[in-house]
C-alpha cells in the first residue's frame, strides 16, 4: 500500500510539472498577465539514499591490534570444534582440511596457519565506530531436587507442548534468521505466555518440571546464561541446556534498577542485583517480570565438556564468545581486544564465535564465556568492558551484501 501511495504522489507531481501542448501554438508556457513570473531559483538536489555499509572491513594482519600478544594454540581445540560444524560448508572446507592435518601444532604453527589461510576483517558498527560492549557469562551451579519440597520449590521447566515455533524464512527468504514463538488460541496464532503468566500458572507447564531449585533469582540468572548445572539433594549433578524460549525480547533488570534509582550504575552487576533481591524480597517478582522473556531447558548428557552453544558444539571456557550472527558468521574465529572485568589489564585473545544470546545485539558486541565455577561467576558478573573485534574468515570468503 505504501508503494502504491508513493507511486500516486509521484504521478501527481509529474502531472503538475507537465505543460499542455496545443497544436500550432508555442510549447513554452505563457503566464496570464495577472500572475507574476517568479524569479528562477536554484533547484534543491534530491536527498541521496543511505549507502549500505558492510560491518566487516578487510585489513592486514599488522592492523589486528595485539595479534601477537596471544597464544592462539590455546584456542586450537575450540577452532577444531568449530570446524566439526563448518567443514561441510564450501567456504570452510579448505581451511578445515588443512587444520585437520595438523597434529598438536605449536604456537608458531598455529599463528602461520591463520595468517596463511585467513583474512582478518575488522568489525565496524553501522555508525562507523569500531568499538562496542563486551559482557561475560558463565555456567552456574544451583542446588535442587527431582521432587518439590519446602526447600526446593522453584520449578525448572522443559518446553511446553503448546509452544509453536514459526520459521519465517520458509515463506520469506529475507527473514531466514527470524523465528516467531506463539500458541494457538481458537483459529488464531497469538504470542506465547510471558514470564508473569508462566509464573502465575496461566501457561500449561504442569508436568514439564525437570527439577526444582531453591531460589528464583538463581534460576533467573541461569536463564540469562542459557545453561547450568543442578546438584540434586547434595549428591548427583545434572547438566541443563537451552531448549527454547517464549519469544519475548530480553529486557535488562539491572538497567531498570539503575533507571529507578534503586542501584548505582557501578553496582548493577549480577552480584549487585542478587544483593538487592535479598534486601527487597517483596519487590522481587515484579522486578523479574519486567523481563518477559522466559527460557525453557532440557537435560543434557553428563559427559559433555561444557554447555552446548548455538553452533551445536561444547563451549570452551575463556575461548568461546556469543555474537550477533547478523554481522559475524557463527563458528568463525574472532580476535577480541578488550580488558579484564572492572580493570585496565589487557585481554587480547583469539576466540570462537560459537554462541548467540537474546541480549547480544549489534556488530561490535560480544559475550565472553568464562566457564564454570565461582571464579567464572565473579568475572562474568563484573564484566562490562569496551572492546574491538576482528573476525577471521577463510581467504576468498564471499561476504554477504551489506544491509
Query: Which residue ranges form the domains of the chain, and what is each CATH number?
Result: 56-137+308-394 (2.40.40.10), 139-300 (2.40.240.50)
CA atoms within 13 A on the CB side of 74: 12
Write out the three cell numbers for 183. 500458541
Are 212 and 148 in contact by the 8 Å Cβ rule? The answer is yes
Write out the three cell numbers for 402. 551489506
Using alpha carbons only, give the angle 56, 340, 366 rounded to the nearest 5 degrees.
30
Return the pLDDT at 223: 96
Residue 229: closest CA among 315, 300, 295, 151: 300
Are 126 and 53 in contact by the 8 Å Cβ rule? The answer is yes
Return the pLDDT at 387: 97
Tally of CB atoms within 10 A around 249: 11
Cα torsion 58, 62, 64, 70 to 10°: value is 140
CA 275/CA 104 separation, integer angstroms:
46
For the four alpha carbons of 139, 145, 149 and 155, in that order, the dihedral sign comes to positive
For the four alpha carbons of 32, 35, 40 and 44, in that order, the dihedral sign comes to negative
Return the pLDDT at 27: 32
Residues making up the chain, counted from first to last: 403
Residue 268 φ then ψ, to 5°: -85, 50
Measure Cα distances from 330 to 195, 306, 367, 403 in Å.
29, 18, 13, 18
This model's pTM is above 0.85: no
Write out the three cell numbers for 297. 531447558
Residue 354: closest CA among 306, 304, 400, 312: 312
Q: Which one-letter DSSP state was computed for residue 55?
A: S
Contacts of 114 (CB under 8 A, 6+ apart): 72, 333, 350, 392
For the four alpha carbons of 350, 69, 59 and 131, in that order, the dihedral sign comes to positive
Q: Which helix (H) or strand (E) holds 298?
A: strand 295-300
Are 121 and 402 in contact by the 8 Å Cβ rule? The answer is no
Tally of CB atoms within 10 A around 381: 21
Mean pLDDT by 10 residues, the chain (403 residues): 33 32 33 37 45 80 94 97 95 96 96 97 95 96 96 97 88 77 94 96 96 96 94 91 94 94 90 94 96 96 92 97 96 98 95 93 97 94 95 93 57
Write out the three cell numbers for 355. 554462541
Using alpha carbons only, give the angle 347, 348, 350 rounded to the nearest 5 degrees.
125
Tally of CB atoms within 10 A around 193: 24
Cell 574465529 found at:
333
Q: Which helix (H) or strand (E) holds 122?
A: strand 118-123
Amino acid at each position: 500500500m505504501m508503494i502504491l501511495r508513493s507511486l500516486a504522489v509521484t504521478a501527481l507531481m509529474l502531472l503538475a510539472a507537465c505543460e499542455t501542448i496545443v497544436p500550432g501554438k508555442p510549447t513554452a508556457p505563457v503566464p496570464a498577465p495577472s500572475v507574476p513570473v517568479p524569479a528562477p531559483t536554484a533547484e534543491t538536489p534530491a536527498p541521496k539514499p543511505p549507502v549500505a555499509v558492510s560491518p566487516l572491513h578487510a585489513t592486514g594482519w599488522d592492523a589486528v591490534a595485539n595479534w601477537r600478544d596471544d597464544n592462539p594454540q590455546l584456542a586450537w581445540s575450540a577452532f577444531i570444534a568449530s570446524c566439526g560444524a563448518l567443514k561441510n560448508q564450501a567456504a570452510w572446507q579448505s581451511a578445515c582440511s588443512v587444520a585437520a592435518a595438523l597434529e598438536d601444532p605449536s604456537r608458531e604453527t598455529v599463528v602461520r596457519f591463520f595468517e596463511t589461510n585467513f583474512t582478518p576483517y575488522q568489525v565496524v558498527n553501522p555508525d562507523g565506530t569500531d568499538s562496542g560492549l563486551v559482557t561475560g557469562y558463565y555456567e552456574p551451579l544451583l542446588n535442587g531436587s527431582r521432587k518439590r519440597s519446602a526447600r526446593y520449590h522453584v520449578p525448572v521447566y522443559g518446553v511446553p507442548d503448546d509452544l509453536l515455533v514459526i520459521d519465517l524464512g520458509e515463506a520469506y527468504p529475507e527473514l531466514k534468521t527470524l523465528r516467531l514463538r506463539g500458541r494457538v488460541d481458537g483459529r488464531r496464532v497469538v504470542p506465547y505466555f510471558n514470564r508473569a503468566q508462566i509464573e502465575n500458572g496461566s501457561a500449561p507447564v504442569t508436568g514439564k518440571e525437570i527439577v526444582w531449585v531453591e531460589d528464583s533469582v538463581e534460576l533467573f540468572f541461569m536463564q540469562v546464561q542459557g545453561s547450568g548445572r543442578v546438584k540434586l539433594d547434595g549428591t548427583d549433578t545434572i547438566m541443563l541446556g537451552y531448549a527454547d524460549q517464549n519469544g519475548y525480547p530480553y529486557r535488562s533488570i539491572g538497567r531498570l534498577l539503575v533507571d529507578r534509582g534503586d542501584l548505582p550504575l557501578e553496582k548493577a552487576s549480577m552480584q549487585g542485583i542478587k544483593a538487592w533481591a535479598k534486601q527487597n524480597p517483596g519487590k522481587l517478582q515484579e522486578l523479574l517480570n519486567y523481563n518477559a522473556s522466559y527460557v525453557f531447558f532440557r537435560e543434557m548428557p553428563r559427559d559433555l565438556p561444557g554447555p552446548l552453544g548455538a553452533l551445536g558444539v561444547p563451549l570452551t571456557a575463556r575461548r568461546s564468545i556469543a555474537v550477533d550472527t547478523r554481522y559475524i558468521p557463527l563458528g568463525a574465529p574472532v580476535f577480541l581486544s578488550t580488558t579484564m572485568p572492572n580493570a585496565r589489564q589487557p585481554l587480547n585473545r583469539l576466540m570462537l564465535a560459537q554462541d548467540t544470546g537474546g541480549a547480544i545485539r549489534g556488530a561490535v558486541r560480544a559475550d565472553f564465556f568464562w566457564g564454570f565455577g565461582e571464579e567464572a561467576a565473579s568475572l562474568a558478573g563484573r564484566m562490562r568492558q569496551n572492546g574491538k573485534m576482528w573476525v577471521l574468515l577463510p581467504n576468498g570468503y564471499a561476504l554477504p551484501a551489506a544491509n
